[in-house]
Amino acid sequence: MQKKLVSETGTAILFIISSLIAVIMALELEEITPTNPTGNPGAGVGYVIYFIVAVIVMSALIIFIARKKKIGILKYVFAISIAFVIFVVGSLLYALLPITYDEYYILTFATPLVVLYFLLFRQNWIVINIVGILTSAGLAAIWGVDLGAYSAVILMLVFAVYDYIAVYKTKHMLDIARASTETEMPLFFVVPDSRGFETSNIDIDTPGEERGAILIGFGDIAIPNVMVISSFLYGGSLFYPFYLLPLVGGIVAMFVLFSFIKRPAPGLPFLNTGVLIGFGIALLLAHF
């Protein structure tokens, strides 16, 4: 039980760290090029459709490749994709450091290459989690800035329904999870209950306590944080409650998920509900 609590707490910490990095990136993005200059909290509805279609197409592509017995190439495809996201993340974060232009460009281009090397040749759960934090933070910041708060609400609801269907109805998300663990494709945070945990031992169908680690998708951290970031930007001068309440809501929902679900389950119905409740409470407090 104590080991399980350590893993659950570690997962919550990953959520918080990703959120904090996403806030820093979102502020930098807003300063460089505000994508929603009118301040319309519903301006990003079109993006919601785009994101959903992109996820469905990507899921279908993964399943198609897996069924063609070519799943080995998925590791390389996703490693390169993640390296690109890390490039974007680095270009924003390094801009905040007191360094020269030469140092900035060296770090910006060298970091994704280093990440790519470790993902392909020296992968372990620490590497996966560091990459997952940066990737989920980058996606949360970009999507959170592009969407208004109300469009983010729509995104939360749609993705929660999609995740439920993908796990319990079509079950293709389980197929993707199995393909990920079989090929060491970096799609899941791995939070073990001991430091010596080997990612090669992961079996997605084994209950978490027997597996020795909690697995949670990068998207299960990134997507709820989209709402956290959108809420934060929406709050303006009231950014503390509009940031903290959705964040706390997501963390509480995460512990509820871990407490009541013992088999592979969709995380977004829980996590998205938590951040939405937090956002709703922030709205109520702002009007009273």
Question: Alpha helix (H) ranges present in the chain?
Answer: 2-32, 45-67, 72-93, 101-121, 125-146, 149-164, 172-183, 208-211, 218-235, 239-260, 268-286
Q: Is the pLDDT of residue 38 over 50?
A: no
Higher pLDDT, 259 or 132: 132
Mean pLDDT of all residues in 219-231: 95
pLDDT tens column, 155-169: 999 999 999 898 888
**Mean of per-residue pLDDT scores for the chain:** 84
The pLDDT of residue 265: 79
Share of the chain above pLDDT 90, in %: 41
Q: For position 37, what pLDDT does the model report? A: 44
Q: Which band of pLDDT confidence, cut at 50, 70 and 90, is reported for residue 90?
A: very high
Mean pLDDT on 231-246: 91
Q: How far is the C-alpha of 232 from the C-alpha of 144, rounded, in Å?
A: 9
Mean pLDDT of 73-91: 87
- pLDDT value at 10 more than 50: yes
- The residues with which 215 forms a beta bridge, in sequence order, are 190
> Mapping DSSP to helix (H, G, I), strand (E, B) and coil, where does residue 216 land?
strand
Confidence of residue 122 (pLDDT cuts 50, 70, 90): confident
pTM (global) more than 0.85: yes
Q: Which residue type, as a one-letter code, is found at position 199?
A: T
Average pLDDT, integer, range 118-139 = 91
Give the pLDDT mean for 62-86. Answer: 78
Distance CA 153, CA 236 (A): 18
Give the mean model confidence (pLDDT) for residues 54-76: 74
